[in-house]
């Protein structure tokens, strides 16, 4: 069965990761990597485009945002279109059958396709998709574009602006509320209607929204969309100039890892009809355990957020206790600006099957131990993530404490600033049946002990195939045997003393196509991290993955690439290789 999850969400979004000044993300110790998301909501002057190709400049409303039930969609291109050339088709799930297609002028004559809903109204709900294709100009044909929307009822949609709003206002775009709490109060008064036909939305401008009475708790069937400009006309998720920041500042909680103080909490009532997108979530400082987000249950879609734990003794970006959340293209990190005792990027204790896909997951800085991901329960799926570590005494990339799950096509960079022990993947006492395939593990730095894998029980993963293991003097440490082993057995399991296919290091290829070769990441400098493959990458990596049903990469580009090969790691690469 295919593991393709969210091409339908993000294919119209283009990503640019650029170096920027200190104060953005991540911080170590004073340098930074800013992550700027260039999505279709960004305004673009078509006259400035010098590309000879026919491309979409933007859409109104921007994809992955709110579309009102009676609102037309405008798709703006960089050239004058041939009228009648564009067609539309339903995505999955479908937006609707469209009414009419017409052409109008934004920057150039007929450069804008206008799409109207059939009978004047779209069907409401979350995750509605429409594909635009066939648009032509001067003999050129544009690539197909997939648009994704939360379709809302205007009468049940509310607006929040921390700067100019008031909770005494009506909550319209012209007279917005000031607080998220007031929007929830008004929506809660509607009863269960939002969850029966999910058509309620909250649109939030840049600003700071401080939680003093408890965490912000999204309601079922509501789409929450932050990072709007002051006029609610354009949306810029993951752009620090437009952060809608939810800060935890309430006085209770934070005593345990399972019940940390948190800025945002999802409960069992929240289903996949609820979308939470475009926020900077920041946990509380001064507590024993601080988290940016706690998911106690439910199945929300969590998309395009920066989620950061607070400056507690111990800090976690996200903690999942239960449910089947879909967590896609977020930056997830413990508190970034100071060293902590224990630092966790993401902890998953759900007995369900949450999907963690195409996220930046940072383990932060710790005086004791930092963790990228801890898998404690369930059959979670970890797909196409970038996982990397800050400074610490001891560091773990992916710590597994329970059977089950899939760890596919992730790219890891660990140990750059670890002083004692760094372990890329560690198997705890109850972990022996996870599938670990098509990942790149790069252990850098000069830690005293650098290990690709450690294991405390007999068994290991269910499969271990087509992975890259680089920079590990200790390939595999078996705690039961108290010894380092240097093999991966046929069948994709880690070697032990009974394995008949032990291969001595420094072999470049182990059993089941596991490799000990430098992947040649574009940049392994933490302040300018870029884990894309490049022309110096060995072909055995850029063309060496097997097809395990993952049909897109970190940037939601198709797998395989145009060369028909599958690349190991989070990024698909189809250029020249070594």
Whose structure tokens read 């830690």? 447
Q: What is the pLDDT of residue 9?
A: 39
Tens digits of per-residue pLDDT, 286-323?
Answer: 999 999 999 999 999 999 999 999 998 999 999 999 99
What does the H/E/C string look like for 271-335? CCCCEEECEEEECCCCCCEEEEEEECCCCCEEECCEEECCCCCEEEEEEECCCCCEEECCEEECC
Instruction: Answer for the pair 134, 157: CB distance below 8 angstroms, yes or no.
Output: no
pLDDT on residue 36:
29
Q: Which residue reads 């690439």 in tokens? A: 561
Percent of the chain surpassing pLDDT 70: 85
pLDDT tens per residue, range 193-207: 888 878 999 999 999
Low-confidence ranges of the chain (pLDDT < 70): 1-51, 251-252, 457-460, 486-511
Element (H, E) at 184: helix 180-188
CA distances, 166 to each of 108, 161, 174, 245, 566 (Å):
40, 8, 11, 18, 53
- The pLDDT of residue 335: 95
Distance, in Å, from the CA atom of 445 to the CA atom of 484, rounded to the nearest integer, reads 20
Q: Is the peptide bond before 387 cis (omega within 30 degrees of 0)?
A: no
Q: What is the model's pLDDT at position 113?
A: 97
Predicted local confidence at residue 272, as pLDDT: 77
């Amino acid at each position: 069965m295919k593991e393709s999850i969210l091409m339908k969400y993000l294919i119209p979004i283009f990503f640019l990761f650029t170096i920027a000044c200190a104060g953005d993300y991540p911080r170590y110790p004073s340098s930074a990597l800013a992550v700027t998301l260039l999505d279709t909501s960004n305004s673009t002057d078509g006259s400035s485009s010098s590309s000879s190709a026919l491309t979409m400049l933007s859409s109104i409303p921007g994809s992955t945002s709110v579309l009102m039930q009676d609102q037309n969609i405008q798709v703006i291109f960089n050239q004058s279109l041939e009228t009648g050339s564009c067609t539309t088709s339903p995505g999955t799930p479908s937006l609707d059958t469209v009414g009419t297609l017409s052409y109008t002028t934004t920057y150039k004559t007929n450069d804008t396709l206008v799409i109207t809903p059939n009978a004047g109204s779209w069907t409401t709900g979350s995750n509605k998709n429409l594909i635009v294709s066939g648009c032509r100009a001067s003999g050129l044909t544009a690539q197909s574009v997939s648009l994704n929307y939360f379709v809302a009822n205007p009468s049940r949609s509310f607006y929040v602006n921390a700067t100019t709003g008031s909770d005494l206002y009506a909550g319209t775009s012209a007279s917005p509320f000031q607080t998220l709490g007031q929007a929830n109060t008004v929506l809660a008064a509607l009863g269960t209607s939002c969850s029966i036909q999910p058509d309620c939305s909250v649109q939030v401008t840049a600003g700071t929204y401080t939680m003093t009475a408890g965490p912000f708790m999204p309601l079922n069937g509501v789409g929450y969309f932050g990072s709007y400009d002051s006029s609610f006309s354009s949306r810029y998720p993951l752009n620090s100039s437009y952060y809608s920041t939810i800060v935890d500042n309430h006085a209770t909680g934070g005593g345990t890892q399972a019940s940390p103080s948190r800025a945002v909490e999802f409960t069992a009532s929240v289903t996949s009809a609820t979308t939470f997108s475009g926020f900077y979530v920041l946990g509380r400082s001064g507590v024993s355990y601080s988290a940016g987000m706690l998911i106690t249950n439910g199945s929300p879609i969590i998309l395009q957020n920066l989620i950061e734990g607070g400056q507690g003794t111990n800090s976690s970006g996200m903690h999942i206790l239960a449910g089947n959340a879909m967590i896609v293209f977020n930056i997830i990190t413990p508190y970034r600006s100071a060293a902590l005792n224990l630092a966790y990027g993401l902890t998953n204790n759900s007995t369900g099957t949450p999907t963690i896909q195409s996220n930046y997951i940072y383990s932060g800085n710790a005086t004791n131990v930092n963790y990228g991901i801890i898998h404690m329960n369930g059959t979670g799926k970890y797909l196409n993530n970038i996982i990397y570590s800050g400074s610490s005494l001891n560091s773990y990339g992916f710590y597994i404490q329970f059977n089950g799950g899939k760890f596919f096509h992730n790219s890891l960079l660990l140990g750059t600033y670890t002083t004692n022990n760094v372990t890329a993947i560690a198997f705890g006492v109850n972990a022996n049946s996870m599938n670990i395939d098509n990942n790149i593990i790069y252990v850098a730095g000069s830690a005293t002990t650098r290990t690709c894998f450690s294991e405390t029980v007999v068994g290991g993963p269910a499969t271990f195939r087509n992975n890259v293991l680089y920079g590990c003097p200790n390939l595999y440490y078996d705690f039961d045997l108290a010894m380092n082993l240097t093999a991966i057995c046929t069948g994709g399991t880690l070697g032990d003393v009974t394995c008949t296919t032990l291969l001595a290091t420094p072999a470049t290829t182990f059993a089941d196509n596991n490799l000990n070769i430098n992947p040649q990441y574009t940049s392994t400098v933490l302040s300018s991290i870029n884990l894309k493959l490049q022309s110096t990458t060995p072909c055995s990596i850029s063309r060496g993955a097997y097809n395990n049903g993952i049909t897109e990469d970190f940037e939601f580009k198709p797998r395989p690439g145009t060369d028909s090969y599958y690349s190991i790691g989070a990024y698909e690469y189809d250029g020249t290789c070594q």
